[in-house]
A = this chain, B = another copy of it.
Amino acid sequence: MTLKLNQITREHLNQELKLTLLLTSIEIKSARNGKSYADFQVQDQTQKTTLRFWDYQPHNSEPELPMIVDCAILVGEYREQLQLTLKKWESTTQTEITVDQLVRSSRWNPEKMQGWLRDYYEYIEAEHIRELIQRMVFEEPFYEKYCTYPAAKTVHHNFMYGILQHTLEVLKYVKMVAGTKKLTQRQVDRLLAMTFLHDWAKIIEYEPVPSESMTVEGRMLGHIFIGAHHTRNMMDTIPNFDDTDALIILNGILGHHGAYEWGSPVLPKTVEAQILHQADKLSGDIESILSFTEDQAARDDQFTDKLWNMGTDYFKGGIT
């Protein structure tokens, strides 16, 4: 089996490795001595990284990206970190490899995740709420995107199947809190529904992987508005959708960032909405610490760099 990006270690120092990678962008730069070089953004399912290519000649025709490429990579070192230099690259001839196999992906099994998603759906009892989730999540043109899109551009769950994995984590947390605090079944129904839908609109806010861009609509309107807007309209297609449930679920979507300064136009006005907010934050923050610490595991220091969204560095001493 071929080597993966996250398997390259100091043992490969000064070796030239062969990898098949997904090339997502090429940025051409000029050194001060007038020569141009290029930074290649590549990834496989385990990691994203940058390869420096010194002899880049701008082509007549730009390569069509993303492209699957076979690479020869020299493993060097700079400031105690591994540095990868691209020596050769060409469009792959391995026709059996697809883009989906090479985008950085959740470590969780996609099929299992879809099963678990269905399991949480089954906990909902109220018919109109079941119908809402059925139409918004489990039916096309939404379901495929919902199961594959990333949940962020950076920091956490910013990979294929990101919405799916993140939503499952939050469903798990909110259901446990609801049980502990003995919420009523109707509260649980609403809580699960708003959790299913809180990041739903990221299928509209983001471009699909391997792109890391937001759509123009996403940047202008944001997933908070887009999600509540589509949900409200879908509710209106369901006969006799209970008014109170509607307002509570919509408030939960609008309020899931938890505070005005984090982009929620209204605050969480129910205990369900507050549980969702905190469970969402918990899932995102913990994932960001874990993936950041892992990215910096190879370094020598006892602490990571400062993780910007958490505002602190992390101790690596206790991780075996």
**Interface of A toward B, CB cutoff 8 Å:** 27-33, 37, 78-79, 169, 172-173, 176-177, 180-181, 184, 186-187, 190, 216-217, 219-222, 224-225, 228-229, 232-233, 244-245, 247-248, 250-251, 254, 260-272, 274-275, 278-279, 281-282, 285-287, 289-290, 293, 302-303, 310-315, 317-320
CA distance A245 to B180 in the complex (A): 30
Do A267 and B229 touch across chains, with their CB atoms under 8 A apart?
no
- Shortest beta-carbon distance, A315 to chain B, in Å? 4
Inter-chain pairs besides A220-B250, A220-B315, 18 sampled, C-beta below 8 Å: A29-B78, A172-B176, A176-B176, A177-B282, A184-B320, A216-B302, A222-B266, A225-B225, A225-B250, A245-B318, A260-B263, A261-B261, A267-B312, A268-B312, A270-B318, A274-B286, A278-B285, A278-B286
Do A31 and B33 touch across chains, with their CB atoms under 8 A apart?
yes
CA distance A303 to B33 in the complex (A): 32
CA distance A282 to B180 in the complex (A): 12
Do B282 and A278 touch across chains, with their CB atoms under 8 A apart?
yes
Tell which of B32, B216, B225, B281 touches A317, judged by Cβ atoms closer than 8 Å: B216
For A247, give the chain B residue with the smallest CB separation.
B220
List, in ascending order, chain B residues with CB within 8 A of A180's CB.
169, 172-173
Name 15 A/B residue pairs within 8 A (Cβ), A-sorted.
Answer: A27-B79, A31-B33, A172-B180, A216-B302, A219-B269, A220-B315, A229-B229, A248-B317, A265-B265, A270-B315, A272-B318, A274-B285, A274-B286, A275-B282, A279-B282
List, in ascending order, chain B residues with CB within 8 A of A260's CB.
260-263
For A266, give the chain B residue with the smallest CB separation.
B222
Ranked nearest first, the 9 interchain pairs of A and B with the lowest CB-CB distance are: A220-B247, A267-B312, A31-B32, A265-B265, A220-B251, A269-B315, A261-B261, A222-B266, A278-B282
List, in ascending order, chain B residues with CB within 8 A of A290's CB.
181, 271
Do A266 and B220 touch across chains, with their CB atoms under 8 A apart?
yes
Tell which of A27, A169, A222, A269 has the most Cβ of chain B within 10 Å. A269
Do B32 and A221 touch across chains, with their CB atoms under 8 A apart?
no
List, in ascending order, chain B residues with CB within 8 A of A266's CB.
219-222, 225, 263
Do B286 and A275 touch across chains, with their CB atoms under 8 A apart?
yes
Tell which of B221, B248, B267, B278 touches A254, judged by Cβ atoms closer than 8 Å: B221
Do B177 and A286 touch across chains, with their CB atoms under 8 A apart?
yes
List, in ascending order, chain B residues with CB within 8 A of A176's CB.
172-173, 176
